[in-house]
Amino acid sequence: MSQSAPIADSLDTAGLARRAWNSDLAYSFRRSKVTVVAGVITLIYMLSALFAPWVAPHDPYDLASVSIMDSFLPPAWIEGGDSRFLLGTDNVGRDVLSTIIHGSRISLGVGFASVFIAASLGVTLGLISGYVGGRLDAVIMRIAEVQLSFPDILIALLIDGVIRSILGPGAHGNIAFVVVIAAISLAYWVQFARTVRATTMVEKGKDYVQAARVAGKGTFYIMFKHLLPNVMGPVLVIATISLALAIVTEATLSFLGVGVPPTQPSLGTLIRVGNDFLFSGEWWITLFPGVALAIMGLSVNLLGDWLRDALNPKLR
């Protein structure tokens, strides 16, 4: 074997895939049937969200194809149902299944965007707070503490309410998405910041950081080259759990009527709209989106739970 051989070996993707498959993480994934099911379901949700226009049997927002004549049709297997609409139709004749698929797309989109922003913000502030310390740390952590003592949903509601009042009532359209995403990410950055800070504090006491300092490396080099890779484990766990929470929070905001605009309904909006018909017997309009939301939240949560246990073997 020549000296360059090991580098070539590490580039061998088949070997890499094999190693990934045999890794403890993959093993614990395969061993837990529930997790595998949750993973598959999550994957299905993501794919159908990504390709919603092609997956959905109808385009519920194409006014030309929606007919008021089809309104309040029950699911296909119930008497009076129509085979064109598997899960029935809503008050204006839209296919419930299609609205769910489009709604999931919006729920997941808002969730991912919020978590991404919250994680970027939280990780950066947490790293700075943990590694640099001092006044900056004190300020960041005081804000975090005050915010943490209030529930996320209240924070999101408040931020949402404030932005809305500044923009004036009736702010609709795309700006509403920005408001919701901003509200949720500002409500969730704290978890990331606190965890990253705690991990950073532990890691920075370790001697490899001291060794880098002895070697004359600068603060940013140490923060991003040394510490960042070592705090990513917990960040991944929190990101997954936060995704589930963000989806639920968005749904709740939308349910309360302060979330995404009704013109582009998420699952929460669908449930809110459908809730009005619960008592008149058209239960499918609200219950099916509800079940879709519940399964989505549960699957992502199960993945997060597994990830936390797998990355923290002590807890098993």
Partner 1 sequence: MISFILARVLQSFVVMLCVAAISFSLFTYVGDPIANLVGIQSSDEKREELRESLGLNDAVPVQFARFVSRAVRMEFGISYQQKRKVSSIIAERLPATLELSILSALLALGIGIPAGIYTALHRESWFSHLVLSGSLIGVSLPTFLIGILLIFVFSVQFHLLPSFGRGEVVQLGFWSTGLLTESGLKALIMPAITLALFQMTLIMRLVRSEMLEVLRTDYIKFARARGLSNRTVHFGYALMNTLVPVITITGLQLGSIIAFAIITETVFQWPGVGLMFIQAINEVDIPVMSTYLLLIASFFVIINLTVDLLYYFVDPRLRVGRDVKT
Partner 2 sequence: MAKPPLLEVKNLRVEFPTRHGTLVAIDDLSLHIDPGEVLGVVGESGAGKSLTGAAIIGLLEPPGRIAGGEILFGGRRIDKLPDAEMRRIRGRHIGAIFQDPLTSLNPLHTVGRQITDTIAAHLPLTPRQARARALELLGEVGIPAAAERIDHYPHQFSGGMRQRVVIALALCADPKLIIADEPTTALDVSIQAQIIVLLKRLCSQHGSAIMLITHDMGVIAETADRVAVMYAGRIGEVGPVSEIIHKARLPYTIGLMGSIPSIGEEVERLVQIDGSMPRLNETPPGCRYHPRCPNAFERCRTERPDLMPAGPSRVACWLYDSPAEAPAARPIPAAARATGGHRARGAAAAATLIEAKGLKQYFDVSPPLLTRILERTGRRIVRAVDGLDISIAHGETFGLVGESGCGKSTVARTVVGLFDATAGTIDYDGVSLSTREERARNRSVQQKMQMIFQDPQASLNPRWRVFDIVAESIPEARRTKAGGFKERVGELLRQVGMSPLDGDKYPHEFSGGQRQRISIARALGGEPEFLVCDEPTSALDVSVQAQILNLMVDLQRNLGLTYLFISHDLAVVHHISTKVGVMYLGRIVEWAETRRLFTRPLHPYTRMLLDAVPDISKTGTQRAQVEGEVPSPIDPPGGCHFHPRCPFANARCRGESPENIMVEGTSVACHAVQEGRLPAWKTG
Q: Which two tokens stand for residue 242?
A: 């936060």
> Which residue, 121 or 295, has its beta carbon nearer to partner 1?
295
Residues 225-264 binding partner 1 (CB under 8 A) are 244, 248, 251-252, 255-258
Quote the least distance from Cβ 187 to partner 2, whole Å: 28
Determine the interface stretch with partner 1 among 50-58, 102-110, 115-123, 158-166 (rule: CB under 8 A): 158-166
Closest CA to 71 of 247, 218, 249, 273: 273
Q: Which two tokens stand for residue 131?
A: 């590694």
* Near partner 1 by CB under 8 A: residue from 70, 90, 203, 305: 305
Determine the interface stretch with partner 2 among 2-10, 75-83, 141-149, 251-259 (rule: CB under 8 A): 2-10
Quote the least distance from Cβ 230 to partner 1, whole Å: 22
Q: Does 197 bind partner 2 (CB under 8 A)?
A: no
* Near partner 1 by CB under 8 A: residue from 43, 68, 162, 175: 162
Alpha-carbon gap, residue 250 to 264, rounded angstroms: 13
Q: Does 270 bind partner 1 (CB under 8 A)?
A: no
Determine the interface stretch with partner 2 among 5-13, 54-62, 163-171, 298-306 (rule: CB under 8 A): 5-13
Q: Does 13 bind partner 2 (CB under 8 A)?
A: no
Q: Does 27 bind partner 2 (CB under 8 A)?
A: yes
| Residue 77 backbone phi and psi in degrees, to 5 | -85, 0
| Residue 256 backbone phi and psi in degrees, to 5 | -75, -5
Closest CA to 131 of 230, 239, 238, 242: 230
With contact defined as beta carbons under 8 Å apart, do 316 and 307 qualify? no
> Which residue, 69 or 214, has its beta carbon nearer to partner 2?
214
Size of the site for partner 1 (CB under 8 A): 44
The string of DSSP codes covering 43-67 is HHHHHHHHTHHHHSSS-TT-TTT--
Q: Does 213 bind partner 2 (CB under 8 A)?
A: yes
Q: Which partner in partner 1, partner 2, none is near 211 (CB below 5 to 8 A by kind)?
A: partner 2
Residues 133-152 binding partner 1 (CB under 8 A) are 146, 148-151
Q: Does 201 bind partner 1 (CB under 8 A)?
A: no
Q: Which two tokens stand for residue 30?
A: 């395969």
* Near partner 1 by CB under 8 A: residue from 76, 158, 198, 228: 158
H/E stretch holding 11 = helix 5-11
Q: Does 206 bind partner 2 (CB under 8 A)?
A: yes
Alpha-carbon gap, residue 146 to 130, rounded angstroms: 18
One-letter-per-residue 3-state SS of 63-96: CCCCCHHHCCCCCCCCCCCCCCCCCCECCCCCEH
Alpha-carbon gap, residue 162 to 157, rounded angstroms: 9
Size of the site for partner 2 (CB under 8 A): 21
Q: Does 297 bind partner 1 (CB under 8 A)?
A: yes
Alpha-carbon gap, residue 211 to 153, rounded angstroms: 43
> Which residue, 6 or 257, has its beta carbon nearer to partner 2?
6
Q: Which two tokens stand for residue 268?
A: 């929460």
Instruction: Kindly write out the interface string for residues 226-265 of this chain, putting x where it contacts partner 2 by CB under 8 A and - elsewhere.
Output: x--xx-----------------------------------
With contact defined as beta carbons under 8 Å apart, do 281 and 198 qualify? no
**Interacting residue ranges for partner 2, rule: CB under 8 A:** 1, 3, 6-7, 9-10, 27, 206-208, 210-217, 226, 229-230
